[in-house]
A and B are shown apart, each in its own frame.
Chain A
Amino acid sequence: MKKSLLAMLIAAGAMQAGATSYEFDVTLKGYQGDATSSVSYSGQIARHALHNSLKKVVSQGDEAVMLQYLSGTEDGRKLLDPASKDGFAIKQSSIDELSKGKNLVSSAYDGVITGWPGNPTGQELLEQLVAQAAQSNQGYDPVNGYDYIQLVSKFAMGAVFYNKAVNHYLEEKLEADQHPNNEAYKAGVPYTGKEHVWDEAFGYFGAPAHGLELTPEEVVQITKQNPEYFAKADANGDGVVDLKSEMAYAHAYYAASIDASAGTNYFHTIMQAFVDGRQLISDAKGERLTDAQRSELKAYAATIATAWQQVIAEAAFKYAGSVYSDLEKIAAVEEAHGDVSKSFRNYVKHWGELKGFALALEAAGRDLGNAQAGLDRLIGFSPVLFGDMQVVAQDGQGGFVQASSGSMQEYKLNMIKVQNLLAQSFDLKAKLKDKTGGMSDVLKQIDAAGQSAEND
């Protein structure tokens, strides 16, 4: 008797902890329709597809096409990525199949970005980067050291997905007067206000609904559309990967990729908090959330926001390390009187990723304290170029103004400082491509003991 009671309790507990997949039934009171699932975030997935496709077209240089994906809302836009390939069939083949009338720029951060000349808003910066990409050589500007493919993509992920999720849905939309849980999100839909708010944030993260059943490495391979991992992606076994629920995008991919390399747990931490938070909303069974429930929900939101920010900072950390290595390679090639164009191209690419992620950190209205000024100054408006020049401003026509800076070798010191600043400010764990020899851990120990101003 005791045993069976215990078994029942455990089973009940397991049901409570329940969901391993992001699937939840309808709880909306008085719902008359025939939908069984209350989960919906296809608009977010459409934006992931727009971002993936935009990245493809930036390297082709046609501004009109780029604008279709950045700011257009027209029907019939082609889905360029993710697209079906041998051994990895994709269910959808057009953006419209995901959601109609969506674009990236109108969801982008509209606050100021201090890390780019002219202090543009996040939206203005995205438009500017695309316009400049059109002037460049297939997304590459060797004169100013810009790789627009990387700048556009890394910044857009932050300014749109990260911003919308942590600055909007997981922040102001969790308040009691916003989209209450005892009402439909809007007339006719099968989900409540709070359910949909949470789903939209989850959609922006970009994880497959069955993410908790996947290892970080599997998530990475799904994004890369590796045919060997097709079965892992195709959770319902219907022979095609549904972009709406079975694909991994953007920061979910980066979280998994960092975890796969460093053994950290960012992806599952964020995923679990999303599932647990959504379970909490479902458990309210269509009633208005109490203050206690909302504060519990906010705790999940805080877990997500912190880990998400760490993922972006970890990515910036890694690319600061790559930039450092590139500068070493350039010096070595120069010393051997070799051709530096290839090394320089890599340097510009990695710098674009570093800068894009660093700008993303400031594109969600979160207070970074003095880390923001530190990152802006240490990274600068461009990489240090040959002749020890760096972009310092923009002129009235939108052209870049260069001035003499420190040397390329001195810029390496900046990369060490960037890594330190990121590691300390965001409490990083993975620290891939660490060029500081583990400095931040030692400094943490010393700081904890405090500076001694006393003797004897």
Chain B
Amino acid sequence: MLETFVVWLADELAAASSSLVDSSKRVSLWYLLSAVLFAWLVLSLRYGALGWARLKPYLSWRVWWHRSARTDYQLWLANRLLLGVLIPKTFTQAVWVSWLYFYWQQQGFGDLQLGWSDATVVVLFSLCYFLVDDFSRFLVHWAMHKTPWLWAFHQVHHGAKVLTPFTVFRTHPIEGLLFFLRSMASQSLVISIFLVAFPNQVSLWQVFGVLITTFVFNVLGANLRHSGVALSYGSKLEKWLISPAQHQVHHSVARQHYDRNFGVTLALWDRLFGSWHPGNDDQTLRYGTGQAIDEMGMLGQWLEPFRSLFQTLQRRTKQRLKLRLRGK
């Protein structure tokens, strides 16, 4: 029994550390490195020799070993272990896709027989896959900010006082579970529809084992989003793509930055939902929520959301009672 547990633990930890060399993971060393090269290139073009100084937050041990960053690392590993148990193994993508694939056919939807080439289908599928994935991320993220009981969990992520690429893992396990379900649902939807419409032609356009858009996104500094390096894409491009600076605005503690820039890759969704905000190379921001959670350790990050959730519910019940009493 103990042996099984130790083996499982070792496997999970080995899998976690393998993320560091796995080109399909954002925190792989390649992307950590490519981000700094990309930032250096852009900032040098803009500011010459002074550009290098702007990279300081990315290269500073004070940031990487900040108490907040250490909590990120702990959460990364602890969540991995917990989600390994929480996420049901039998409820796989294959089950979802098979069911939907069959369901569409029962509804009379079938092979479109458009005679399109494999390449066309691959490009179209990859594009739709990317769009649905990006929009569903936006939507769930938006909901996490707008719904009090979801925010109770999402505040963990915003409790980071310094940003490092590993802040992407600073989430509550409940949020992890929700995002897992999101990814299952959105992927299954697109895959099943395409399999029915274009049988035996569907394939993702991948580079080094990842979707091409994810690859480009990661090479071009996805890791800078959670870092102190303010890098704007410029006023024109930022209307289409969320820059690192824009995501940093999302993490800002300042009131005027609340609920801005929910998007991951595309800025389009934020513009549609009226939450778009530009970024700036010279912005100086403070990160965090300004609440008690910012100062808590790993266990606090796990437990505090349940306390705030309970508080929210309590407050609501009281309000309702009051309203009812007043109504009488």
Q: With A434-B200, A456-B247 in contact, do A412 and B102 touch (Cβ < 8 Å)?
A: yes
Q: Contact residue range for chain B?
A: 35 or more
Q: Establish whether residues B209 and A449, one from each chain, have CB atoms under 8 Å apart when the complex forms.
A: yes
Judged by a CB distance under 8 angstroms, whether A238 is at the interface is: no
Judged by a CB distance under 8 angstroms, whether B245 is at the interface is: no
Q: Establish whether residues B93 and A449, one from each chain, have CB atoms under 8 Å apart when the complex forms.
A: no
Q: With A453-B83, A453-B176, A454-B169 in contact, do A445 and B206 touch (Cβ < 8 Å)?
A: yes
Judged by a CB distance under 8 angstroms, whether A436 is at the interface is: yes
Interface SS, A side: helix
Judged by a CB distance under 8 angstroms, whether B267 is at the interface is: no
Judged by a CB distance under 8 angstroms, whether A452 is at the interface is: yes
- A 403-427 to B, binary, CB cutoff 8 A, 1 in contact else 0: 0000001001100110011001000
Chain B residue numbers with a CB within 8 Å of A420 are: 94, 98
Judged by a CB distance under 8 angstroms, whether A399 is at the interface is: no
Q: Establish whether residues B94 and A442, one from each chain, have CB atoms under 8 Å apart when the complex forms.
A: no
Q: Establish whether residues A453 and B180, one from each chain, have CB atoms under 8 Å apart when the complex forms.
A: yes
Q: Establish whether residues B264 and A409, one from each chain, have CB atoms under 8 Å apart when the complex forms.
A: no
Q: With A416-B98, A420-B98, A456-B264 in contact, do A441 and B93 touch (Cβ < 8 Å)?
A: no
Judged by a CB distance under 8 angstroms, whether A455 is at the interface is: yes
Bound CA span A434–B68, Å = 52
Judged by a CB distance under 8 angstroms, whether A447 is at the interface is: yes
Q: Establish whether residues A442 and B203, one from each chain, have CB atoms under 8 Å apart when the complex forms.
A: yes
Judged by a CB distance under 8 angstroms, whether B33 is at the interface is: no
- B 139-177 to A, binary, CB cutoff 8 A, 1 in contact else 0: 011000000000000000000000000001101000111
Bound CA span A274–B16, Å = 41
Number of A-B pairs whose CB atoms are under 8 Å? 106
- A 429-456 to B, binary, CB cutoff 8 A, 1 in contact else 0: 0000010111111110111111111111
Chain A residue numbers with a CB within 8 Å of B175 are: 455
Bound CA span A371–B196, Å = 25
Bound CA span A450–B214, Å = 13
Bound CA span A455–B168, Å = 7
Bound CA span A440–B200, Å = 10
Q: With A416-B102, A434-B200 in contact, do A453 and B24 touch (Cβ < 8 Å)?
A: no
Which one of A416, A434, A442 contacts B204 once the chains associate, using CB atoms below 8 Å? A442
Which one of B94, B106, B198 contacts A424 once the chains associate, using CB atoms below 8 Å? B94
Bound CA span A409–B102, Å = 10
Q: Tell me the count of chain A residues lying within 8 A, CB to CB, of chain B.
A: 30
What's the least CB distance linking A415 to chain B, in Å?
Answer: 10
Which one of A417, A438, A453 contacts B195 once the chains associate, using CB atoms below 8 Å? A438
Q: Establish whether residues A450 and B24, one from each chain, have CB atoms under 8 Å apart when the complex forms.
A: yes
What's the least CB distance linking B95 to chain A, in Å?
Answer: 7
- B 14-26 to A, binary, CB cutoff 8 A, 1 in contact else 0: 0000000000110
Judged by a CB distance under 8 angstroms, whether B52 is at the interface is: no
Chain A residue numbers with a CB within 8 Å of B201 are: 438
Q: With A450-B24, A453-B176 in contact, do A442 and B137 touch (Cβ < 8 Å)?
A: no
Which one of B97, B141, B214 contacts A456 once the chains associate, using CB atoms below 8 Å? B141
Chain B residue numbers with a CB within 8 Å of A421 are: 94
Q: Establish whether residues B204 and A446, one from each chain, have CB atoms under 8 Å apart when the complex forms.
A: yes
Q: Establish whether residues B176 and A416, one from each chain, have CB atoms under 8 Å apart when the complex forms.
A: no
Bound CA span A376–B66, Å = 54
Bound CA span A417–B179, Å = 25
Bound CA span A438–B203, Å = 9
Of A416, A452, A454, most buried by chain B (CB within 10 Å of CB) is A454
Q: With A443-B94, A453-B179, A454-B179 in contact, do A416 and B101 touch (Cβ < 8 Å)?
A: yes
What's the least CB distance linking A113 to chain B, in Å?
Answer: 23
Chosen A-B contacts, 18 in total, with CB atoms closer than 8 Å, are A413-B99, A424-B94, A436-B98, A437-B199, A438-B203, A439-B101, A441-B203, A442-B191, A442-B195, A443-B93, A443-B97, A451-B183, A452-B183, A453-B79, A454-B169, A454-B171, A455-B171, A455-B264
B interface residues with partner A (beta carbon < 8 Å): 24-25, 79, 83, 87, 90, 93-95, 97-99, 101-102, 106, 137, 140-141, 168-169, 171, 175-177, 179-180, 183-184, 187, 191, 195-196, 198-204, 206, 209-211, 214, 225-226, 247, 250, 264
